[in-house]
Structure formats: C-alpha cells, structure tokens
Structure 1
Amino acid sequence: MIRIGIVDDDKASRESIHQEISDYARLHHLKCELSEYESALKFLDSGDKGFDMLILDIDMPGMSEMELAEKIRETDRDVVIVFCTNLQQFAINGYSVGALGFMVKPVQPYALNLTMDRAINAIKMNQKRNNTDSDTKFVLKDGTISRLVSVSDIDYIEVRQHYLLYNIKDSNTGARIVIKNRGTMQEAVERLSQYGFWRCSSSFLVNIKSVTAVSRVNVFIGNELLPIGRTFKESFMDAFSRYLAKKGWEDPCL
C-alpha cells in the first residue's frame, strides 16, 4: 500500500490530481491510499503520518507549503515531496527540502504520469534501503578489541562527558553489552540518523525500532527508561508516530 497526501487549497485541483493518480494506480496495478487536505495547517492538525508521498501546492495562504515541507523534513527524511505550482520561478526552491520535483498547474496527465514513475521508483528505493538497514554493520573499539556490530543491535547511545556509550543487545545470546568509545553526540547523530536513530534528550540517541513504549516523559526500551527532553520531545514523538504508521500499527495517544 502506497500512502499519498495531496495538500492544496484549490478543491478542483485536489480532485483532479486525486483522479489522475487513481487512474495511474489502476493502470499500474498499484494499491494507493489517497488523502486530501485544503491547507498546510489542516494537514498538520490532522496528525496523519506515515505517508510515502506528498503533493504540495506551493502557493498557499497562511503557512506556505515550503514552510510545511521544511517542517516535514525535520522528522521525515524519506517521504517523497512533489510541488504543484503555477509560479515557475518559485519551483527551484523546492530542491532545498529534497523535493523530487514539481508540476506546473494545471497538471497535465502526461506530466503527472512521469512524476509518478519517478516517485514510485524513489519510494521503492526507500523501502529497499530501510529493509537492509538491519544488515549494516560498524566496527566499534571495545578496549583492545574491535567488535563488528549490526545497526539493528544498537538500542541507544548515551553521551557522558567526552564518551559515547553504545548500549547493544547481542542478537545471538540476548545479553546486553555496553561499548565505550570516545566521541561526541553530534558524531553519533551524523553516523546513525539515516538508520532511524532519533534524539530523545541531549544525552540519548535512540534506535526508534527498539522502543517498546513511550510516555509523556520517558522512552521505554524493554525495562529501561530514558528521559524525553523538552527540546526533543516533538521531533521524537513525531518520528515514533510515523514509524508506527508505516508499520500499520495504531498511533498512540500521546
């Protein structure tokens, strides 16, 4: 199932794009779930997450779609973003938020079909990369020993002074080990954020796939509780909700 959101204040434009995508899906035997929103604020207020693709009208009252795209990119690096606009001079700005491209209004079927071809390829690449993340391995120094560690085995990283403490579960024995490396939180973020690691506080970087529960103030990883810092709460909760949505699980009431 491919989830696509259309954000446009022009009802006729939304309905036209919706119909064209539905026709494309039938032709290519794709299962698509389409949702429409009449403004950026309506989209944000809906709380809907887990989209594979978003089509955004760039010329909107209130919060612009560029501002919306920037907010989306704070917590979602994978969703495919396509802009619709009748203002061609503004379309180039879309690439600053990693947009796939843009379509000029009124959107023609041929242009939409080409865009959908590219979008579906990008979505498949995202899915393939996410499915192989667990096979990615790093070498971590553990005293005089160099350990080969799978990304999926790292539950979280804690920073203490000038050291990073990698909290790891042994996939073979189930035992938990801690590997201490010299480094900074920024280095850990740069290394692991692409694999679904998110900061829940200034001291902890968490593998979102290892989270077993959340409350308003804590992240649970098995029996361990990690604090959620005020600065990181919104982005972490949003990332966790999107993870659940993409898995098809119910979004928690946070």
Structure 2
Amino acid sequence: MDSIRVCIVEDDDCDARLLREALDRFTAEQGTAFDIAVFHDGADIVERYPADTDIVFLDIEMGGLDGLSTARTIRAHDGDVLIFFVTNMIQFALEGYTVNASAYIVKPLRYPLFRTHMQRAIQTLEQRRERFVTLRSGREHVFVNSNKIMYVETSQKRSLVHTDTNSIFCNEALQAIEKKLDPAQFFRVHASFLVNLAYVDTVMPKDVVVRGTAIPISKHRKHFFMKVLADYKGRFL
C-alpha cells in the first residue's frame, strides 16, 4: 500500500525519538513506508492537522493541551484516523473508548507489543482501501467500492445492493455478485442475503443487525457465521 501518514504528538523528545526508531524498525522488518510528522503539543496538531492522516500516536500527559482533549478535537472532524495513546497513565484507559482509541501503548515502549499493534493497524488500513467491483444495472455498468457495500439481497429475481449511501438494483444473481466480493469480508447468512462483516452491529437469535437493519440468518449457517465473524472482528481489535 502507499506510504502511511503518521503523526507523533509527544512533548518528550526522548519518547518521540523512541517512537520514530520503532517505526523505522518496523519499516526495516515489514517494508511498510511511513510519512512521519512530529508535534510537541496537542494544540499544535489541532491547529495544523495534516490531511489524510492515517495514525496518530498521542501522549496523554502534556504541558499544553492534554492527549484526551486533543483526541476529542481530532475525532470531531476525523472519524477514521487510528489513535494510539502512548502513556504511563493507564488509569485513563476507559476514557480512551470515548474517542474510539485503537489501543494504549504503555511507556516504556516495548517493541514486540508495538509491532503487534502496528500489524493490526496496517490490516485495518488495508481493509479500508477502495476495492471496486463492476455491477450491471439495467444497460449500465456501475463501479462500486466493495468496502461501502453493507449487504446484498435478492429482490424480484434481481439483486439489490445496499451501500452506506444508496441502494442499487442489479441485473445479476446474488451468487454472481458474491463471486466478485472478498470471501473474507462477505458472508452468505441466508439464501437471499449476503452481508459485509464490517457493518455487522449485533447478532440476535434469528437475525443479524447490519447498521440498524435486521437481516434473517439461517439456523444452519449461524454457527459457522459466528466463528467467521469472531475471526474477522478479532483482526482489528
């Protein structure tokens, strides 16, 4: 994938240097390229937040704007960036969930654990990459980012593809669409429904809830579905 844009927000030069060295080591081992910017206070990154930032490493206890306040401000206008708190103040872990923090990295930084966090972060970013599939809708061929497809259903001998912004009628069978999609991300929960595991909110006794929509799940498929879903979600925890 392209270079990953990383911001380090740390008022201690030594700790900032250790993070950069860990990223350099990860690059040497994994071949992942990073574009790194360093800020020495939360207020600095809030004022000059770089566009298309992928990952923010954020110290909690800083002399100016603290890490949690900084994270709340960042999250208000960037819901996708991965935030890692780097701190010895683990007592604030619960507050991190309010800004959807990816993880806490406890000081002093230990590289093996850091590498594990980074591998999961790379998987998450890879998953978000645009993957376009072509769908036949009437006489047109429509290009759709498969990561935006929430679920697909059979409708009046055609298929209805529900994305996070609209729904598209397709002149293709559900089975044909399924073959175009990543089997590690999409699961056939019912003869008439195919769901994107990334959008699954809740599993009920007889339904799967996908962004607020209840979709029936076959009792013969549920056991395997639960295993596949657990494996999928576990990759990003």
What's the TM-score, normalizing by structure 2? 0.56
SS in 1 for 2:79: coil
Which amino acid is the alignment partner of residue 83 of structure 1? F
Match of 2:76 in 1: 74
Residue 61 of structure 1, aligned match among 55, 60, 63: 63
Inter-CA distance 63–129: structure 2 relative to 1 (3 Å threshold): farther
CA distance in 2, matches of 1:124, 1:150: 22
Mapping of residues 132-147 of structure 1, within 5 Å:
132-133=146-147, 135=149
Q: Which runs of 4+ in 1 moved over 3 A?
A: 128-131, 133-139, 147-154
Q: Is the 8 A contact 2:4 2:33 kept in 1?
A: yes
Match of 2:208 in 1: none
Match of 2:108 in 1: 106
Inter-CA distance 101–63: structure 2 relative to 1 (3 Å threshold): same
Mapping of residues 6-17 of structure 1, within 5 Å:
6-17=8-19
CA distance in 2, matches of 1:153, 1:93: 31
Q: Are 2:96 and 1:94 equivalent residues in the alignment?
A: yes
Q: Is the 8 A contact 2:59 2:85 kept in 1?
A: yes
Q: Is the 8 A contact 1:85 1:105 kept in 2?
A: yes
Structure 1: stretches of 5+ with no match in the other structure: 140-146, 155-167, 169-193, 196-254
Per-residue CA deviation, residues 52-78 of structure 1 (Å, 9 max, x unaligned), is: 111100111222111111111112121
Q: Is the 8 A contact 1:7 1:43 kept in 2?
A: yes
Match of 1:231 in 2: none
CA distance in 1, matches of 2:125, 2:163: 22
Cα distance, 1:126 vs. partner?
2.6
Inter-CA distance 97–152: structure 2 relative to 1 (3 Å threshold): closer
SS in 2 for 1:84: strand
CA distance in 2, matches of 1:113, 1:106: 14
What's the TM-score, normalizing by structure 1? 0.52
Cα distance, 1:136 vs. partner?
5.5
Q: Is the 8 A contact 1:78 1:126 kept in 2?
A: no
Per-residue CA deviation, residues 159-212 of structure 1 (Å, 9 max, x unaligned), is: xxxxxxxxx9xxxxxxxxxxxxxxxxxxxxxxxxx99xxxxxxxxxxxxxxxxx
CA distance in 2, matches of 1:135, 1:87: 39
SS in 1 for 2:50: coil
Match of 2:33 in 1: 31
Which amino acid is the alignment partner of residue 28 of structure 2? R
> What RMSD in Å do the two structures reach over aligned CA positions?
3.3
Structure 2: stretches of 5+ with no match in the other structure: 133-144, 154-158, 168-197, 200-237
SS in 2 for 1:102: strand
Q: Percent identity?
A: 27
Count of equivalent residues: 155
